[in-house]
Amino acid sequence: MKRKFWNWIKNQDEGGAGMRTLFLNGEISDETWFGDEVTPGIFRDELNAGKGPINVWINSPGGDVFAAAQIYNMLMDYPYDVTVVIDGLAASAASVIAMAGTKVRMSPVAMMMIHNPATIAIGDSEEMKKAVRMLDEVKESIMNAYEIKTGLARDKISRLMDAESWFNAKKAVELGFADEVMFSGQNAEDAGGVPFSDEMDAPVMFSRQAVMNSMLGRLIPPKKPGTPVEQLEKRLNLLLH
């Protein structure tokens, strides 16, 4: 069987019972899900093999949006509480899965990233137009999950996705993408007094382009003040004549 990108662990207590924990690690790959009719059924069977609340630990850069949508739907349909724990990264499609949590907790050093969906298309102009329309519809479907969880206006969610926004744990709680910062006691109610604006906290919510520009600025040495060598040579030539 193909390698799975998820793993279940049951923590046994003294009575022989225990809460189940689902680990989603690495890329949510289409090679282990999309186009494989067996794999979604296996996930559903494993999810419904037990009862009671579950923990879902996420550390993933994302992956196939349709695979993420199926996992999101199954977790939303699960009749017990689902506590999502983001211990490293929940980016792209993985952030959609995180929205299925009854409660979403983030490590203080974890990050979340949301952005617009992307695809590869081949064909004439009509095929390109179809691809654009498809991406627009996929974006709308992703926004549905974010809107249900956060309560934010769709135009604000759309702008955040357009900017490829990254959130640390506190910012995710402030915006409603998460409910609690682990180890700190800060929850959504505590963060409610901090108003959000699109302009605030640039180091906390940033785009990949901004990060690249910052890194390039550090790598490229600044020009040292002083007179360029060419100008000095010209002045010397004038003095010599």
* Range of weakest confidence among 99-113, 119-133, 197-211, 220-234: 197-211
Going by pLDDT thresholds of 50, 70 and 90, the confidence category of residue 84 is very high
183-238 confidence digits (pLDDT tens): 986 666 555 444 444 443 433 444 455 445 544 554 555 555 555 555 555 555 55
18-32, 74-88, 198-212: which has the highest mean pLDDT? 74-88
Share of the chain above pLDDT 90, in %: 58
Cα separations in angstroms, 197 against 5, 33, 90, 136, 156: 36, 38, 23, 25, 10
Q: Where does residue 25 rank: exposed (0-12), middle (13-18), buried (19+ CB within 10 A)? A: middle
Q: Where does residue 103 rank: exposed (0-12), middle (13-18), buried (19+ CB within 10 A)? A: middle
CA 167/CA 181 separation, integer angstroms: 12
pLDDT at 237 (0 to 100): 55
In this structure, the chain runs to a length of 241
Mean pLDDT of 101-114: 98
**Which CATH architecture fits 6-240?**
Alpha-Beta Complex (3.90)
pLDDT at 11 (0 to 100): 76
Q: For the chain, which residues make up each domain, given as ranges?
A: 6-240
User: What is the reported pTM?
Assistant: 0.75
Q: Looking at the predicted structure, is the pLDDT value of residue 93 above 80?
A: yes
Q: Looking at the predicted structure, is the pLDDT value of residue 163 above 90?
A: yes
Parallel, antiparallel, or unpaired for β 82-91 and 103-106? Answer: parallel
CA 241/CA 230 separation, integer angstroms: 17
Mean pLDDT of 18-35: 79
